C-alpha cells in the first residue's frame, strides 16, 4: 500500500507547482466546507468510518508488538506483512470489535460536537 510520502515522491516539480496553485485557489472553499461540516452533528457514515479506522488501528497494534509499523525507517515489506496480518485479524475479530467500539466512538464524536456547539455559543 502506498502512503502519502510515496505519492509525493512520484510527482514532478511541475506537478507539485500545479497542485500547489490548485490547493491555494480552493483553500477558502475548503475552509468554508469544513466549517459547515463542523456545525453539523456527526452522520452515521462518519461514525462508521471512524469505527472502521479504530478497528484497523486496534488490529495493527495487536499484530505489531515490536512497534515496527510506525518506525519511519521500517521497510515496505515489513509494513506489508504487518498489514496482511492485521487484515486477517480484522476478518476474524472485526465484527466483535466494531460492536464494542461503536458506542464509545459515537459518544466521543457527539461530545466533541457538543463542545464545539458550546464554544460557538460563547463567541
Q: Is 55 found in the same domain as 1? A: no
Asked if residue 63 and residue 121 are part of one domain, the reply reads yes
Mean per-residue pLDDT, 49-78: 89
Residue 9 binned pLDDT confidence (cut-offs 50, 70, 90): low
Model pTM above 0.75:
no
Exposed, middle or buried, 106 (CB in 10 Å: 0-12/13-18/19+)? Answer: middle
pLDDT confidence tier of residue 18, bands split at 50, 70 and 90: very high
Both 32 and 54 in one domain: the answer is no
pLDDT in tens, 73-103: 888 888 888 989 999 999 999 999 999 999 9
How high is the mean pLDDT of the chain? 89
The mean per-residue pLDDT over the stretch 28-32 comes to 96
Domain that holds residue 21: 1-39
Same domain, yes or no, for 33 and 45? no
Residues 73 and 106 in one domain: yes
Are residues 71 and 117 both part of a single domain?
Answer: yes
Count of structural domains, the chain: 2
Q: Are residues 62 and 95 in the same domain?
A: yes
Amino acid at each position: 500500500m502506498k502512503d502519502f510520502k510515496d505519492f509525493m515522491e512520484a510527482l514532478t516539480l511541475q506537478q507539485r507547482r500545479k497542485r500547489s496553485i490548485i490547493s491555494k485557489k480552493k483553500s477558502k472553499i475548503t475552509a468554508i466546507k469544513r466549517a459547515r461540516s463542523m456545525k453539523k452533528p456527526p452522520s452515521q457514515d462518519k461514525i462508521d468510518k471512524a469505527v472502521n479506522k479504530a478497528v484497523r488501528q486496534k488490529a495493527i497494534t495487536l499484530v505489531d508488538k515490536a512497534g515496527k509499523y510506525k518506525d519511519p525507517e521500517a521497510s515496505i515489506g515489513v509494513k506489508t506483512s504487518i498489514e496482511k496480518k492485521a487484515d486477517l485479524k480484522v476478518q476474524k475479530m472485526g465484527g466483535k470489535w466494531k460492536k464494542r467500539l461503536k458506542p464509545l466512538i459515537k459518544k466521543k464524536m457527539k461530545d466533541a460536537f457538543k463542545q464545539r456547539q458550546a464554544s460557538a455559543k460563547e463567541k
